[in-house]
Amino acid sequence: MNWLIIGSTATYHWFPDARKPSDIDLLSKAKISGNVSTECVVDSHWHDAAQLVIDKSTDKVFADPDLLFTLKVSHANWDIKWDKTMFDIHFLKQKGAKLDMEVWTALTRVWKTVHAKHKCNLKLPMAEFFNDAVKREYDHEHLHELVAFHDRPIHELMRPDPSIVWCDADTFYSFPHEMQIETCMEEIMATAIERFRLHEGSTRLEIRKAMSASYKKVCTTMTTGWFARTCILNQHEILNERKDKWMKKMESALRNLSHSPRLIP
């Protein structure tokens, strides 16, 4: 058979405590789309990575949990039904699903063509990289210093050339897991202050909302590849399990922010 059931129907097959499906998503070359049956709606999909997904599934009718998880993680770099996608990622991760890097790479290549993706040139000098449309009140690197969990921002350890933004993935993956999470949190915190104009008087609720919105920006528009993937895979750890840790650091950073030099009045 050269077809495979994916999506919520496949998830519900493996995990009856998953949300009940409202349609059937099918990997198939057969052109089926949104039929009007009151009993079942079937949508077929086909793309350059479809055959790889079919071939790698351990079950030949329903995509296995690892592939369902990988499909969701690959989608999460785009703001398309994002909240539902992130909910499903957390659900499948709790069930023990693992990422298939070969399939993730192939799928991401497809989505870049289908959905398009802004490409950041990380080889630019710092001043040129930050000379964009974002109206900044404070120097971005200064914000990183304020939210740093250690003596200096962790990303500085990952930049072979301090004059450019590009960070080395191998160095990042050599860090202990907690340090990797801290690296993600530092970027999200600096972005939250910068994009949502947090200040010393910001309430905890305002900080939490800014962190959640900043996390989404980092995952969907500000980063790609390995860094975005790491943030996506560790959503619950970053936003929930480490909330007290980043909240304490954010409150300290915002107190110090009032004494920081401004870029704009």
In a domain, 43, yes or no: yes
- 176, 214: one domain: yes
Per-residue pLDDT at 130: 43
Domain containing 11 equals 4-114
Per-residue pLDDT at 122: 47
Among 114, 142, 167, give the residue marking a domain's end.
Answer: 114
Provide the number of structural domains found in the chain: 2
In a domain, 50, yes or no: yes
In a domain, 264, yes or no: no
HSE of 222, CA atoms in CB hemisphere, 13 A? 23
- 70, 172: one domain: no
- 206, 226: one domain: yes
DSSP label at residue 154 = G
Structure tokens at 82: 């994002």
d(CA 2, CA 232): 31
Structure tokens at 209: 């909302």
- 252, 154: one domain: yes
Q: Are 134 and 195 in contact (CB under 8 A)?
A: yes
Per-residue pLDDT at 26: 92
pTM for the model: 0.87
- 247, 137: one domain: yes
- 253, 173: one domain: yes
Structure tokens at 33: 């789309």
- 17, 44: one domain: yes
In a domain, 184, yes or no: yes
Among 114, 134, 165, give the residue marking a domain's end.
Answer: 114
Among 71, 89, 114, give the residue marking a domain's end.
Answer: 114
In a domain, 136, yes or no: yes
pLDDT (tens digit, 0 to 9) for every residue of the chain, 265 residues total? Answer: 699 999 999 999 999 999 999 889 999 988 765 555 555 678 888 999 999 999 999 999 999 999 999 999 999 999 999 999 999 999 999 999 999 999 999 999 999 998 876 555 444 454 444 445 567 788 889 999 999 999 999 999 988 776 676 788 999 999 999 999 999 999 999 999 999 999 999 999 999 999 999 999 999 999 989 999 999 999 999 999 999 999 999 999 999 998 887 665 4
Beta bridge partners of 45: 27
In a domain, 120, yes or no: no
- 103, 137: one domain: no
Concatenated DSSP letters of 31-43: -------SS--EE
- 172, 225: one domain: yes
In a domain, 86, yes or no: yes
- 136, 94: one domain: no
At 113-135, the pLDDT tens digits run 988 765 554 444 544 444 455 67
- 185, 89: one domain: no
- 90, 138: one domain: no
Q: Are 213 and 185 in contact (CB under 8 A)?
A: no
CA angle 69–29–16, rounded 5-degree value: 35
In a domain, 216, yes or no: yes
